[in-house]
Structure 1
Amino acid sequence: MSDTGITKLKSSLSGPAMQQVIALAALVVLYAFFAIFGNHFLSTDTFLSILSSSYYIGFLAIGMTFVIITGGIDLSSGTVMVGAALVGGVAYNVWHFPIALALLMVLLTGVLFGLGNGLLIGVLKLPPFIATLGMQFVSLGLCSVVAKVQTQTYPSLGTPDGMFKNVLYKWGSMPMGAIWLVVFFIVAWFLLTRTKLGRYTYAIGSNEEAVTLSGVKVSYWKVWVYVLNGFFAGLAGVIYAATFSSITPQTGNGQEMYAIAAAVIGGTSLAGGIGSLWGTVIGVFVISVLKTGLLSMELPVQWQQVLIGVVVILAVLLDVIRTRRLKRS
């Protein structure tokens, strides 16, 4: 084999595709482990529980993947998700909006917070960590003010307005949330791989200075990336509202960490320029299987956080090793 062929082989073995294979293998191993040692893990109810815990984290993770590929981060998407669901609850319970319009308010709220992040980062040039950390507190507080720090409830199943739960979450035994996740995954995949937005998302993360020198208005595309992320946070809020009947103010903080973890586990590089939505979805299910499996073993919830943290550290370590090898080749 020629030196060029060996270089290409090494690159493929240390590239993002390899990390996706490792993530998929980890998913299979985890599922097999919990099937053996968990209580009633191999059941339809458990499988549906894994799917249910994947919906809103999946939407958050899809939007987060775009952001991380640009070399950014969003620490506000978890509070935006819950805050947007709160605003929708106020629209339904207090302003007496129709349920469809209330859910549209959830989406709009997510988009507006995404636009705020985009303007702070793309136009005002604030570091993403600082900008989104600030927006985390803004969304946490502002949406609670709108809700007057009151828990908001959505209509339950069996009522006319409660039909939205059937359409968005579960219709009989059919997991509607999974269907919507697939639909919007396809939309996001098309945007990332087949449009100018996707090309510039990768380019900005790979070498922002070179993209700027080539005449591309980087600030414009960064704003759109964060708006898209806000849209997916809004979608997560809609699914969150369909999953849980009551939305409590001052919550949601920390949910974005699951989204970041899913993207990193799936091979998206925190250094930017590298990432795949396929890998992110695998990462989402790794987290969901881990959470559900630990519960089936009757371990305390705290162990979920410990083990997910370990998995994320290992994924980041693989990313660091991969980046170093690519620089050497």
Structure 2
Amino acid sequence: MKIKKLFSNQQAVVVAALVIICVVFSLLTDKFLQGTTFTNISKSAYYVAFMAIGVTFVISTGGIDLSIGTVAICCALIGGTLMENGLPMPLVLLVILLCGSLFGLINGILVSRLELPAFIATLGTMMVSRGLGSIVSKTKTISFPQGSAEGAWFREIFMVTKDGGLLPKNFPTGFLLLAFCAAVMAVVLNKTRTGRYILSIGSNKEATRLSGINVKKYETLAYVFSGFFAALAGIAYVAVFSTAQPNTGNGFELDAIAGVVIGGTSLSGGVGSILGTIIGVFIMTVLKIGFPYIGVQSHYQLFITGIILVFAVYMDILNRKRKV
């Protein structure tokens, strides 16, 4: 199979960009090639990548979901509060995922059935989820089990926390879960009727409706995917960092959306790539982890990341013009 069949032009560019970035950091500092760097990149990429997988479906419809960052933390706070009140960890994780799906369903109804602009609907949900998390947790930080404490087993899904096993301590096992979820959702987006309908809505919503497809149903489903993966991102976040704090989560969605756009999914809708999304997220994460190694301060990181995002959007516009 030829390489061009595996990657679109933009995906080939982002793969090359990721390789070049890694090579540059490797040449500039010997710290980058240490084993801890891969661990730090993986841990930092987990929650962003899960959010990005979900929001890829929303952006493919031509919509946007600004609530995923605060929804991730809100769901973790709700689950953590129930955990402190004695709910077993398996049920806590289930509640977190259900809460995220419910937020996604609400967003989908607001956008598809009440016909609110996606920007406004999800901005409102972002505020609601941020406030709800503070209300439920009573503005206190929620700590999740660590070490040998009861319920701490869920952290092993994302990171090895104990010595003496088959894998070394701090090994990012969550990368395997991320790869599995990405593969499944890539099949859903590109090989199933659901995915084709979602992409069709982004290409031409009215034509899709006239062809007999239930546009409201599949547009809502895209937001449910986004909410579910935001909740999964919340689980990944507390598994790695152990705590969830109220009034946090703002800005997470920007990293996820930037990864999606850099990976080749069009903000205009109709074009989506889970593989590209994952690569885009890792570009963002490698920059985030690598810049401090060469002495680049955080405000310069934001500056450079912003330029990369604008360039990615501009490339998308040029690609669309060529196809017209």
Q: Do these two structures clear the TM 0.5 threshold for a shared fold by scoring above it?
A: yes
Return 5+ residue gaps in structure 1 as ranges.
Answer: 1-11
The answer as to 2:113 corresponding to 1:123 is: yes
Determine the C-alpha separation between the residues in 2 that align with 1:153 and 1:298: 32
Residues 36 and 232 of structure 1, relative CA distance in 2, 3 Å threshold: same
Aligned ranges for residues 239-250 of structure 1 at < 5 Å?
239-250=236-247
Task: State yes or no: 1:252 paired with 2:243.
Answer: no
Flag the 1:130–1:178 CA change in 2: closer, same or farther, 3 A.
Answer: same
User: Which of 14, 24, 33 lines up with 2:15 in the alignment?
Assistant: 24
Cα distance in structure 1, aligned partners of 2:192 and 2:157: 30
Conserved? CA contact 1:38–1:293, under 8 Å: no
Q: CA deviation at 1:39?
A: 5.0
2:128 counterpart (138, 141, 155): 138
Corresponding residue of 1:43: 34
| Distance of 1:91 and 1:301 partners within structure 2 | 36
Query: CA–CA distance in 1 between the matches of 2:132 and 2:171?
Result: 36
Paired with 1:169 and 1:309, the residues of 2 have a C-alpha distance of 30
The 3-state SS of whatever aligns with 2:65 is: coil
Using the aligned pairs only, state the percent identity: 44
C-alpha displacement at 1:159, in angstroms?
Answer: 2.0
Structure 1 counterpart of 2:61: 70
Q: Which residue, 152, 159, 163 being the options, matches 2:149? A: 159
- CA RMSD in angstroms comes to 1.5
Determine the C-alpha separation between the residues in 1 that align with 2:98 and 2:158. Answer: 17
Paired residues of 2:104 and 2:225 also in contact (CA < 8 A)? yes
Residue of structure 2 in register with 1:300 after alignment: 297
1:60 partnered with 2:51:
yes
Aligned residues: 313
| Distance in structure 2 (CA, Å) of the matches to 1:270 and 1:104 | 31
Gaps of 5+ in 2: 162-168
Aligned partner of residue 145 in structure 2, secondary structure: coil
AA aligned to 2:57 is: F
- In 2, Cα distance between equivalents of 1:54 and 1:73: 21
Shift of 1:57: 0.6
Q: Deviations over 1:287-324 (max 9, x none)?
A: 11100110211322222211111110110010111111
Q: How does 1:272-287 map to 2 (within 5 A)?
A: 272-287=269-284
- TM-score by length of structure 1 reads 0.92
Deviation at 1:241, TM superposition (A): 1.2
Name the residue aligned to 2:103.
113
Q: Distance in 1 between the 2:306 and 2:118 partners?
A: 22
CA-CA distance at 1:142 after TM superposition: 1.2
Residue 41 of structure 1 aligns to a residue whose secondary structure is helix
Partner residue in 2 for 1:5: none
Contact 1:169 1:239 in 2 (8 A): no
Report if aligned partners of 2:46, 2:175 keep a CA contact under 8 Å in 1: yes
Offset at residue 197 of structure 1 (A): 1.0
Cα deviation 1:130-155 (Å, max 9, x = unaligned)? 10011110111012111111110101
d(CA) in 2 for partners of 1:236 and 1:58?
Answer: 8
Distance in 2 separating the partners of 1:301 and 1:158 = 35
Separation (CA, whole Å) in 2 of partners of 1:156 and 1:173: 13
Q: Measure how far apart 1:47 and its partner are.
A: 1.2
- 1:291 matches 2:282: no
Q: Which amino acid aligns with 2:159?
A: Y
Residue in 2 that maps onto 1:84: 75
Q: TM-score, normalised by structure 2?
A: 0.93
